[in-house]
Amino acid sequence: MRKLRNSELERKTVQEFKATRKYPVYLVLDNVRSLNNVGSAFRTADAFLIKGICLCGITARPPHRDIQKTALGATESVDWSYYPQTVKAVNELKESGYRIISVEQTEGDVSLPDFTPSRDEKYALVFGHEVKGVQQEIVDMSDLCVEIPQEGTKHSFNISVSVGIVLYHFYYHLR
């Protein structure tokens, strides 16, 4: 086997990406403090052709060197907007017909493998603060909470890992 060169991967240009139809999925980053996690979310959103990202509360916004370090240019391809309060972003998405899904451990949550996204729905996936998680107020506004199953000693995954797992799950079922 020979490793492929980047030029052989036939990736889209930023202009082609902007013109391509996206999956009806938004990321909502609820007070994510790590700029590297924000950059990683952009890069993963680009890879899976999602509609955009809502950056909320203390979540940093481009342009920033530390976001760019992990985004590798995805802040130019992926649409994003900023909301001082996550509630406003969630309300706007709900009004636009998006189903709000918080990625959080809650009473009555659904294990991610047991949830199959429908091609007939639009989704907003909420990821929370690295220590505090998704705000309870946002959990209360959610249509559903999903949990990524794990069996080790830690209580959660890093947000960048969670975004990758959940977006791949949605991409796999929606493509």
Query: Where are the domains positioned within the chain?
Result: 13-174
Domain spanning 13-174: CATH superfamily: SPOUT methyltransferase, trefoil knot domain (3.40.1280.10)
Looking at residue 26, its pLDDT comes to 98
Looking at residue 92, its pLDDT comes to 98
pLDDT mean over 115-119: 98
Band (pLDDT 50/70/90 cuts) for residue 58 is very high
Taking each helix axis as running N to C, give the angle between helix 35-47 and helix 159-174, from 0 to 180 degrees, rounded to the nearest 10.
10
Looking at residue 143, its pLDDT comes to 98
What's the one-letter identity of residue 140?
D
Decide: residue 104, CB within 10 A, 0-12 exposed, 13-18 middle, 19+ buried. Answer: buried
Helices within 48-96 (DSSP H only): 65-71, 74-77, 86-95
Residue 15 has phi, psi (to 5 degrees) of -65, -40
Looking at residue 25, its pLDDT comes to 98
Say what the pTM is: 0.97
Taking the CA atoms of residue 90, residue 157, residue 63 and residue 19 in that order, the dihedral angle to the nearest 10 degrees is -70
pLDDT mean over 12-37: 97
Of 13, 88, 79, the C-alpha closest to 42 is 79
Band (pLDDT 50/70/90 cuts) for residue 54 is very high
